[in-house]
A and B are shown apart, each in its own frame.
Chain A
């Protein structure tokens, strides 16, 4: 599956470049849906949120003049590549689920519309941090935020008791706890470093205060190897080299097995963790708990984001206003938010939506204040502006950190590779870079 994924991504990206130099610029008249005069406006919507068709049918019943058809897609990087290809070819869906890190590449390709005018009243529903992810720090608005992924520390409360460890408040304490665990049981690790999940590493870097990209006038500034990121990398590199932290990637069968067998005690993850744990580690039900991420300095209170997505409107959509109205309803209307939570297992980005989360997930029935904790942690999360070629940076992460983990070599060198690869790619694609 990973081979598939990489191959698809590589091929799609390669041809996209070919398509943009040679492709015809004229918008195709046959573009999806089409607002025929008379009948209702028909919109197509690509998303991978489970049960979205049920949520949309509520809208369709209440709005006979705007009918939305959901097409459930595969999520992740492939979805972004597929949308970009469709946009280039002139037949994108009217609405698309866009992960925050992919939105800048959609904007750079002129694939999504600026819906500032249509979303004026939606702005107040979201926090500054999340709203920044859909404006990219500009005056435009490129999407309506849907879900967000503030990061927190999941840990096995029962096994922490068994090994006599306190919940680490700082990353130093986390490292110390990792050593203690190894000393007590050589089969068990406190945690693992995943070289396959760049989003996770980006979130940890955000927590440390990294700013990988920023826009300076009309030039991009790239600082993937800034000081906070290097700090995060060398911290994990040290632990892996010392052998007190495992190096298996997340979401793999072996990781699932280690979770089920109680051989991994923590997972620094995001608010959507319960869904993954309950499906991949059903044996741990009722044994896990959440706490804020360990901090870099005692007394600080920061977190980062891992994951999260928004609803964007395709630039080529003939019914932009209707699409923006639907996107606003979906992500800010109380009824829609309730459905997103219940049917879609989504942690809404809107403040109103987050407040609707009251009953702890079944997997965390031992922690009735789960969502209160999550909301408190979420308020401390800080993000950064993503660049227009995040997929390149993320692939560089996988390549460089795979090698660094295998060779037990310097993780900061891998971060430098990410920076160099990103800069080279942006230059080649034609972006102006500030020095």
Chain B
């Protein structure tokens, strides 16, 4: 009800922000629409028909992609799902626990730890890839699944986000009341705080999932065995096929399109969660 009255009273000035958003949407969706159209083109059509004229080769592209090296595409997709899913879940757990601790407990060195984390946000992960590779090599872990999973488990930005959100959404008085009622710290976190932190967790999960899904340099350096490659690195081997081999553009474009599908699906399902809980959190204080 409240929503409908607000919508009815929309001022004409709302046109400007809407226009800007529409422009932004066009700007970001334009390349995606190219991928969609280009994936339908056969080899012969790709570079000869007008850019946005749909082609006739989608099915044969799909068949070629799935047949390529006995369906290695599916393996790459599974790997990516493992890296992104596993990495995002672990990162969310780590970030939520540490963010909650940083927000609710006063302990010596809290400021220092937090400042170090904020500093960590400023270091682009790309810069860390090679040092991480050398470290993992020392530990004998380079080339394993862990070498791609572990570096993504701690995300300073996610911890920062969790801490900010926990401070705003979990009132100290509520925890105090729980303590008076005799709840232990674990129970407080688990039963009282966690439900309030869900929107932050969804956000962190999505952020990390997308970041790992798109990550290129870390797996590119870490992994030698192409059966452990994620999609980004796998598709890249089709593109950079060597100077004397043609790039397999059709397969790359079709593969790119398919690799978008899980991301879009994830956003569409998680988004609902996200909105409901954000408004739920807003009522609290």
Which of A75, A89, A99, A280 is in CB contact (< 8 Å) with B137? A89
Chain A nearest Cβ from B34, distance in angstroms: 11
Q: Which residue of B lies closest to A76 (CB)?
A: B240
CA distance A71 to B244 in the complex (A): 19
Contact A260 B48 (CB under 8 A): yes
From residue 214 to 259 of chain B, which have CB atoms closer than 8 A to chain A? 216-217, 220-221, 224-227, 233, 236-237, 239-249
Interface string of B23-55 (1 = CB under 8 A from A): 000000000000000000001101110000000
- In the assembled complex, B133 has its CB within 8 A of some CB on chain A: yes
Contact B245 A261 (CB under 8 A): no
A interface secondary structure, majority: mixed
A residues in contact with B239, CB < 8 Å: 1, 74
- In the assembled complex, A93 has its CB within 8 A of some CB on chain B: yes
Chain A nearest Cβ from B138, distance in angstroms: 8
Interface string of A1-34 (1 = CB under 8 A from B): 1001101100110010001000100001010100
Chain A nearest Cβ from B102, distance in angstroms: 32
CA distance A345 to B224 in the complex (A): 23
Contact B133 A89 (CB under 8 A): yes
A residues in contact with B248, CB < 8 Å: 279
Contact B237 A74 (CB under 8 A): yes
Contact A85 B69 (CB under 8 A): no
Chain B nearest Cβ from A80, distance in angstroms: 12
What is the total number of residues of chain B having a CB less than 8 Å from a CB of chain A?
40
Given contacts A1-B239, A282-B43, contact A72 B246 (CB under 8 A): no
Given contacts A15-B130, A85-B221, A93-B224, contact A5 B43 (CB under 8 A): no
B residues in contact with A270, CB < 8 Å: 244
- In the assembled complex, B59 has its CB within 8 A of some CB on chain A: no
Contact B247 A32 (CB under 8 A): no
B residues in contact with A79, CB < 8 Å: 240
How many residue-residue contacts, CB under 8 A, span A and B? 135
Contact B137 A11 (CB under 8 A): no
Contact B241 A50 (CB under 8 A): yes
Contact B241 A75 (CB under 8 A): yes
Given contacts A71-B225, A283-B48, contact A12 B130 (CB under 8 A): yes
Q: Which residue of B lies closest to A22 (CB)?
A: B134
B residues in contact with A4, CB < 8 Å: 216, 236
A residues in contact with B237, CB < 8 Å: 48, 72-75
CA distance A78 to B236 in the complex (A): 11
A residues in contact with B194, CB < 8 Å: none
Given contacts A1-B239, A279-B43, A283-B44, contact A50 B245 (CB under 8 A): yes
CA distance A272 to B245 in the complex (A): 8
B residues in contact with A63, CB < 8 Å: none
Which of B130, B138, B143, B236 is in CB contact (< 8 Å) with A11? B130
B residues in contact with A12, CB < 8 Å: 130, 221
- In the assembled complex, A334 has its CB within 8 A of some CB on chain B: no
From residue 119 to 137 of chain B, which have CB atoms closer than 8 A to chain A? 126-127, 129-131, 133-134, 137
- In the assembled complex, B140 has its CB within 8 A of some CB on chain A: yes
Interface string of A221-254 (1 = CB under 8 A from B): 0000000000000000000000000000001010
A residues in contact with B227, CB < 8 Å: 71
A-B CB contact pairs (8 Å), 5 listed: A49-B245, A74-B240, A89-B138, A91-B224, A272-B243
- Known pairs A49-B242, A78-B240. 10 more at Cβ < 8 A? A7-B217, A71-B225, A73-B226, A74-B220, A75-B242, A75-B245, A82-B220, A199-B243, A257-B48, A309-B242
Interface of B toward A, CB cutoff 8 Å: 43-44, 46-48, 69, 126-127, 129-131, 133-134, 137-138, 140, 142-143, 216-217, 220-221, 224-227, 233, 236-237, 239-249
Interface of A toward B, CB cutoff 8 Å: 1, 4-5, 7-8, 11-12, 15, 19, 23, 28, 30, 32, 44, 46, 48-50, 53, 69, 71-76, 78-79, 82, 85-86, 88-91, 93, 99, 147, 149, 199, 251, 253, 256-257, 260-261, 270, 272, 275-276, 278-283, 306-309, 345-347
The 3 closest A-B pairs by CB, nearest first: A75-B242, A279-B246, A272-B244
